[in-house]
Structure 1
Amino acid sequence: MRRITLGERPDWRSQAEACGFHFHSPHGRRYWDESACYVFHLRQIEDDIEAATAELHAMALDMVDRILASESMLRQLAIPSSHWEWIAHSWHRRDGSLYGRMDLAYDGNHPVRLYELNYDTPTSLFEAAWFQWGWLEDLRRQQQLPASADQFNSLHEALIARFAALGPQWPMPLYFSALAGWPEDRATIDYLRDCAIQAGLETRHLDLQQIGLSQDGYFTDGDDRVLHSLFKLYPLEDMLRDRYGPFLPRSALRLIEPPWKLLLSNKGLLPLLWQHHAGHPMLLEAHFDAGDQPLPRGWVRKPLFSREGANIEMHAVDGGYTRTEGPYSGPWVMQRLHRLPSFSGRYPVIGSWLVGDQPCGIGIREDDQPITGDLARFVPHVIID
């Protein structure tokens, strides 16, 4: 694994905007960054990342039955008891999952280490599945990369196939919804909706703020039509806390991602995995934490529910201390500190994607600090042997 610098395509911005990638440079700061890329050998992808992702995913799925059988685990995950049966029913019914992303530390020489699972509302999918593949095709055509250069990326085809396979589970139309006013979220749901249309599904768009509730407890769209199937780019834990949350279990609304994914998108899964697989080379030691004591050296503290590197504490072995701001609070977990590799002061985290249960691509976010924040750049990757 190495980082190399490259010439940028002169028209990449116009290409991005033509396909809906309008958030490539938010607030004048570069998000999409093709001035460099990360280069892997095929063995590193197949053995170190793809196989590891499949193994970690299987371990996570194995925990679902354990968690649902344990009131103490459900309480540790801060899941309200009012929704336990709803979550269990979605799991036992085998409500289908569309996708997920796990964040991994990897330096090209040692086993990956799992930082966390983003299994409910993972973003950067459009960039990983579509735009970085177009980048690869252009650079091969321009001979900036060899014609044999490849990418770990079958995401687009896998998403279409997954929509087609799961379509019979969902009453049509399938609504795609996110909060209005967030370009990244809108681009993500527009991309996924396009994949669903290519799979032959009937779809509609709906701003999340337009969802209503009928007098008999059914969720409705802006024209008072009952919603039966909803892809929502909105965290499940927030849905449970919203004023409509109590109506979810009795609404008959089918969600993507399904309710059982709340157990795996929760950072409380990390200490539960460690309890059952202590010493596993791809796991970092983790424990539940009250958050009321100073963080020991060599540890990281995270809220159970947080995103984009917000509200993270990191206390290095040498005494260095970093804390990020954000809107989240406890409960917390503590995780043994394992720093991202540094490539000349740039810290890449591997976002390893699954569609259904199949690993099928990666996206890399790169920051100038060891904690990956919301302004981290997306840097493409390539496989060259």
Structure 2
Amino acid sequence: MERLAVEPRPDWRERAEKIGFAFHTINGEPYWCEDAAYSFTPAQIDELDDAAQRLEDMCLELVDGIIQRGDYAPFHLTDTAIALIEQSWQRQDKNLYGRFDLAWNGTGAPKLLEYNADTPTALYEASVVQWEWLDSFCNHCDQFNGIHETLIEAWKHFGLWGHRVHFTCVRDHEEDFGTAEYLRDTAIQAGLDTDRLYIDEIGWNGKRFVDLAARPITVLFKLYPWEWLLQEEFAANIQSSGIRMIEPAWKMLFSTKAILPLLWQAWPDHENLLPASFDRAAIRGSCMAKPFWGREGAGISRLSETGATLDSVPVQGDPAPELRIYQQAIDMPCFDGFYPVLGVWVVASRACGLGIREDRSPITRNTSRFVPHLFE
């Protein structure tokens, strides 16, 4: 694994916008970056692929046991949430996508930092944008990137023929809108009927959810976190409406960082896991304190015996800010002053691609750079 210095294409902004990637710049600084690329060997790509697939299989096994036992105490869920989880699992509602964030320098075993299982972004750049870059950068290189094809194939197996799939997100958020539109495009390519609306445009007619044309919403892809949704009046009608949600409600058990200590309890000393606990005293030395709910590095602190040594931004919309898990701190890999996090994508529970975010801080934030990769 190497970090290569690369000459950016002079027209990279125009190229990005031509393929629909409008959010390539954040606060005047490049978010999509072509001045570097990470290079892997084929064996290293296989290691990342295998690690993510193992972790996905472990999560599914863990969640099945939790639901079978009714052991929801570690998650601090409401009765409404539990009922939705059990209903969606019993119906065998399919899940679409997620991203395992791994720490790795190319040797040893990749370590799981967290699983973004409900509303992960950075998908379009991982699937389409970095592939377009590779096509013009190196005609004999390859990339761990079957995301686009796997998404299209996954939609074909959701059993949605005859339904209109509505796609929703918050308004005035360019990245969320771009991600939802990309996923809608893959559904269209799979042959599905689709529509889009903002989440505040979803209506209720007393029996079912409806769109702006008063048509029933029977299937809803929501780029909106379950923990936010459950705090709204919307949630009271989900179960009675019969609406099918993507991601399904059972994915709530993945989308909280409570899954990290539970994985460690089930598979202690597993090569792809870091020690994690609900109890700070159970983790020796320095550790990362992480909120149950939080994205893009929000709310994470590095704790030593004397207290916090590194903090990130607060969590927005956290329903329980006092809840934390503790994960053993590791020295993050550093290349040329940048700390990469390797995001391995799973679609329909199948590992299929890699996207890399890097920052000058060990904690990846929503402003961290996206950098392409290759192998040969």
* Band of TM-score, shorter chain: over 0.9
CA distance in 2: counterparts of 1:69 and 1:319, whole angstroms: 39
1:184 matched to 2:137: no
**Partner of residue 41, structure 1:** 41
> What one-letter code is carried by the residue in structure 1 that aligns with 2:123?
L
**Which of 70, 74, 77 in structure 2 is aligned with 1:76?**
74
TM normalised by structure 2 equals 0.95
Task: Give the CA deviation at 1:19.
Answer: 2.2
RMSD: 1.8
**Partner of residue 144, structure 1:** none
1:360 matched to 2:358: no
Deviations 1:153-192 (A, max 9, x none): 01111111111121x2465110111101000011111111
**Partner of residue 6, structure 1:** 6
CA distance in 1: counterparts of 2:73 and 2:79, whole angstroms: 8
CA distance in 2: counterparts of 1:344 and 1:156, whole angstroms: 31
Deviations 1:280-335 (A, max 9, x none): 1111111114x8x9x97411111111000011111258987001122342311011
Query: Which residues of 2 match residues 254-333 of structure 1 at below 5 A?
Result: 254-289=244-279, 297-315=285-303, 321-326=309-314, 327=316, 328=318, 329-333=321-325
**Partner of residue 201, structure 2:** 210
Is this contact kept in 1: 2:160–2:192, CA < 8 A? no
CA distance in 2: counterparts of 1:173 and 1:320, whole angstroms: 49
Query: Which residues of 2 match residues 16-35 of structure 1 at below 5 A?
Result: 16-35=16-35
TM normalised by structure 1 equals 0.93
1:198 matched to 2:176: no
**Bigger Cα displacement from structure 2, 226-235 vs 329-338:** 329-338
> What one-letter code is carried by the residue in structure 2 that aligns with 1:322?
L
Instruction: Point out where structure 1 has 5 or more consecutive residues left out of the alignment.
Output: 141-146
Is this contact kept in 1: 2:151–2:186, CA < 8 A? yes
CA distance in 1: counterparts of 2:89 and 2:267, whole angstroms: 23
Q: 1:68 to 1:369 in 2, by over 3 A?
A: same
> What one-letter code is carried by the residue in structure 2 that aligns with 1:112?
P
Instruction: Point out where structure 2 has 5 or more consecutive residues left out of the alignment.
Output: none
**Partner of residue 150, structure 1:** 142
Task: Give the CA deviation at 1:344.
Answer: 2.0
CA distance in 2: counterparts of 1:251 and 1:75, whole angstroms: 27
**Partner of residue 159, structure 1:** 151
Is this contact kept in 2: 1:170–1:254, CA < 8 A? no
How many equivalent pairs are there? 371
Is this contact kept in 1: 2:355–2:372, CA < 8 A? yes
- The 3-state SS of whatever aligns with 1:378 is strand
CA distance in 1: counterparts of 2:350 and 2:313, whole angstroms: 34
**Partner of residue 106, structure 2:** 108
CA distance in 2: counterparts of 1:357 and 1:203, whole angstroms: 23
1:235 matched to 2:233: no
- The 3-state SS of whatever aligns with 1:69 is helix
CA distance in 2: counterparts of 1:92 and 1:209, whole angstroms: 29
**Partner of residue 143, structure 1:** none
